[in-house]
Structure 1
């Protein structure tokens, strides 16, 4: 029996690992472009980055160069959307950053400053398969790395290690302004002592501070304003330390790969048709 349980646990662990998500497609101007057409392709399948000192925190493992990636033109102030292969299901915040390349985005390694243009916070996480925001209207023309980061904090620190899911798109901004935002270095912007890194989602979490710098805004007419999250029910987005509220969902069904239980979990426990609730550990049960 013990052997059978070990095999079952291993099978579940493999299933969970294979179900991780990667931001692999970009939409601009209403057109959804091909997989890794304008997004640098990572080399670690869909595994997360966990080392806070690693350069892989910039654009994921294998993302230091964009020589094989196209660069797309986006007008300042216009919207864009990142799409995943599998909907995000690990609780945690999602953020979007920009870093201006000194020349071509395709040859830029992301070693310059990064500034944040969007946060989707918590504790009511926005778990979706696409995330939409706007290019700030006041930033200078030029080529940039456009970076999306989802931080999974479902394995509480220090017993567990938070997981970064990252992708970088290559864009050329036109029609911009003259404001040069200050930025932060990556790695270096996130620390193991950050409240948003050490937060325990299973310990009656009432408020949440997203790791990293404050969100840059051009002002009343600038970009980086209200985000939209397609394929999600309407929800209040939390981007500060104040607790967010979320309306009651019309039905209580957890999509495949979503959380359906665990110690301290108070959400839906009924899995969508075709999946059942499996226990990964005492804190996390998942629909598989």
Structure 2
């Protein structure tokens, strides 16, 4: 009979966090049969059932929950001791990061380059998405660190502010020459679960404008292409359209909204992985270009 090793504990903690053997296998870069074998070894060694199946998910038994609760701080302390001793220079692992387009276009490249340079053993997996979906992925444990449009208020999330961006109402230069912003001009925005959508709707109301239509697209760069091609007007992040404004390809059509979009780095409040905590600390030192 095999003794319980460190990789058994790591496996147990990731299954508990992600809910399925498959997700834990993907996270740990192994196969689902290998994960199943590790669980059998744990249960054979301890003589207890650690998990029970509920539908497609594996749920901890009462004794399994207690085991996880007691092992999690021990595992985190062990990892932290090793990483701190090496100044994180020997850190290895995969960290999954979610980011919106605005952060990805500004502070994220520098952050990624710094991690690659200073922590060469760490692999980053990046996913671009809207804040609402990233928020759920963060809570569900499928991403470790997120750059979210905020402010974010949730008891399950810990955040650090990283700056804000100003917004501008823009349309193509040709649209402006043809008469600018009137009721016949279509308006485009990110879908309604984005802070940018709220700014768009509020600004239209403040100016007494009822547009011909209010279209949505979940990709900011596509919105820029639509507007610059003469497809309407939109509230867009100023840093992402600055060069087009300076070149004359885009022009401002209404006063700039008073509201800015705040950005925050975020992790789960219960996060204990020392590598994720270190990257969160570094992310908190970033500043989005305003």
| Smaller-chain TM-score bracket | under 0.3
Using the size of structure 1 for normalisation, the TM-score is 0.24
**Bigger helix fraction:** 2
Q: TM-score, normalised by structure 2?
A: 0.24
Which has the greater radius of gyration?
A: 2
